[in-house]
């Protein structure tokens, strides 16, 4: 009997709980599963007939309306069980942060709290590196939509995108999205040194995230969003300078690659692609659907051939879906917008 009620409680909660994005929804689920448990209790009691003899023996049945007494007793019992289910939901809502901490998981509720623009790290990013903040917001929007199309965790991808470049806030002016047209800090640096500064934003960001106790899954996004890709512009610049020099020494690619790891989840792969296409789309002179499509195709193919998607479990079919979603989102962003020109990718 208790087993049937417990099963009903567990199944009802598991089916109703789905994606909870507000605490009040958690209480609604508690109320609904409480009602289901109460009804199950009535049903089970009636089928087994366990409750009937107890009531029949009572003095109350001697009076008229014995069945009424039986029903009200049954309802009272069911209500008691239902109230416990609602109380359990309230308890879970309160204890959620502790449960998440102990088991190292993030519910949608805590992800939503993390993704709030008033988060201290995001506020600092907006103040110190407004260009990067703006880029992160755009990446978050297009990455969430793309992740949702392949059934990946869109909200997690969005929150990961908000934080992916927080490491840039230490040296914002070395990144193109924060630079003025006539002010390029890299002019005074050797390509190898510029590469070191650029690559450092991944480690700096991950360290900063850990200091602020961001969940591991968010730190993973920061560490994996560039995978082991090549910092192409400065690699080409270094190769060019080396060819012009007297000794013509071969430049090794390794020093110009991010340390990785490569994306380990589909969400991280989506973020990597969204990040690259958002930055690159700013260099298009007249962005339109066809140009955005060819840009996304080119970047996705380059990353695929470079082996960046080898460890994330993304299928080629899903990659196609992600690409279409990114083109759609970018086309919507650039629709009727003033064109950007003369910018290099971040």
List of residues contacting Fe ion (CB under 5 A): 165, 275
Answer yes or no: are the C-beta atoms of 161 and 178 closer than 8 Å: no
Q: How far is the CB of 320 from Fe ion (least distance, A)?
A: 23
Residue by residue, DSSP assigns 290-313 as HHHHHHHHHHHHHHHHTTTTTTS-
Measured from the CB atom, is 45 or 275 closer to Fe ion?
Answer: 275
Measured from the CB atom, is 165 or 267 closer to Fe ion?
Answer: 165
Residue 311 Cα distances to 86, 259, 269, 274, angstroms: 43, 15, 9, 18
Answer yes or no: are the C-beta atoms of 290 and 334 closer than 8 Å: no
Measured from the CB atom, is 81 or 222 closer to Fe ion?
Answer: 222
Evaluate the omega torsion of the peptide bond into residue 137 and state whether it is cis, within 30 degrees of 0. no
Sign of the C-alpha dihedral, residues 16, 17, 21, 27? positive
Q: How far is the CB of 256 from Fe ion (least distance, A)?
A: 15
Integer Cα distance of 106 and 221 in angstroms: 14
Residues 6+ apart with CB under 8 A from 182: none
Integer Cα distance of 269 and 322 in angstroms: 10
Measured from the CB atom, is 165 or 237 closer to Fe ion?
Answer: 165
Measured from the CB atom, is 35 or 126 closer to Fe ion?
Answer: 126
Integer Cα distance of 294 and 302 in angstroms: 12
Q: Would you tell me the crossing angle of helices 191-211 and 216-224 to the nearest 10 degrees?
A: 170
Measured from the CB atom, is 165 or 223 closer to Fe ion?
Answer: 165
Residues in the chain: 346
Answer yes or no: are the C-beta atoms of 116 and 109 closer than 8 Å: no
Integer Cα distance of 120 and 118 in angstroms: 6
Instruction: Give the count of beta carbons closer than 10 Å to the beta carbon of residue 263.
Output: 28
Q: How far is the CB of 20 from Fe ion (least distance, A)?
A: 30
Measured from the CB atom, is 144 or 275 closer to Fe ion?
Answer: 275
Q: How many CA atoms lie within 13 A of 223 on its CB side?
A: 18
Measured from the CB atom, is 237 or 275 closer to Fe ion?
Answer: 275
Integer Cα distance of 25 and 188 in angstroms: 56
């Amino acid at each position: 009997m208790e087993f049937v009620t417990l099963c009903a409680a567990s199944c009802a909660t598991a089916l109703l709980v789905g994606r909870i994005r507000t605490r009040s929804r958690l209480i609604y689920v508690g109320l609904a599963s409480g009602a289901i448990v109460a009804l199950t209790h009535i049903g089970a009691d009636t089928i087994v007939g366990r409750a009937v003899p107890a009531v029949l023996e009572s003095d109350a049945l001697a009076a008229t309306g014995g069945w009424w007494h039986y029903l009200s007793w049954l309802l009272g019992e069911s209500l008691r069980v239902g109230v416990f289910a609602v109380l359990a939901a309230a308890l879970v809502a309160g204890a959620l942060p502790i449960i998440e901490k102990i088991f190292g998981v993030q519910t949608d509720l805590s992800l939503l709290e993390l993704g709030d623009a008033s988060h201290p790290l995001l506020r600092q990013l907006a103040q110190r590196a407004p260009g990067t903040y703006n880029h992160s917001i755009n990446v978050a929007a297009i990455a969430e939509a793309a992740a949702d199309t392949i059934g990946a965790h869109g909200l997690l991808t969005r929150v990961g995108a908000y934080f992916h470049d927080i490491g840039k806030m230490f040296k914002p002016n070395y990144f193109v999205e924060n630079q003025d047209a006539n002010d390029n800090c890299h002019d005074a640096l050797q390509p190898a040194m510029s590469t070191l500064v650029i690559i450092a934003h991944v480690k700096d960001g991950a360290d900063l995230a850990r200091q602020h106790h961001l969940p591991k899954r968010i730190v993973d996004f920061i560490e994996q969003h560039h995978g082991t890709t090549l910092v192409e512009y400065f690699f080409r610049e270094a190769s060019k300078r080396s060819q012009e020099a007297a000794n013509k020494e071969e430049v090794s690619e390794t020093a110009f690659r991010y340390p990785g790891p490569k994306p380990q989840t589909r969400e991280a792969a989506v973020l990597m692609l969204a990040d690259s296409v958002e930055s690159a789309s700013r260099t298009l002179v007249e962005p339109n659907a066809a140009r955005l499509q060819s840009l996304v195709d080119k970047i996705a193919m380059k990353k695929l051939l470079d082996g960046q998607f080898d460890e994330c479990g993304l299928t080629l079919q899903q990659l196609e879906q992600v690409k279409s979603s990114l083109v759609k989102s970018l086309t919507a962003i650039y629709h009727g917008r003033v064109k950007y020109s003369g910018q290099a990718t971040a």
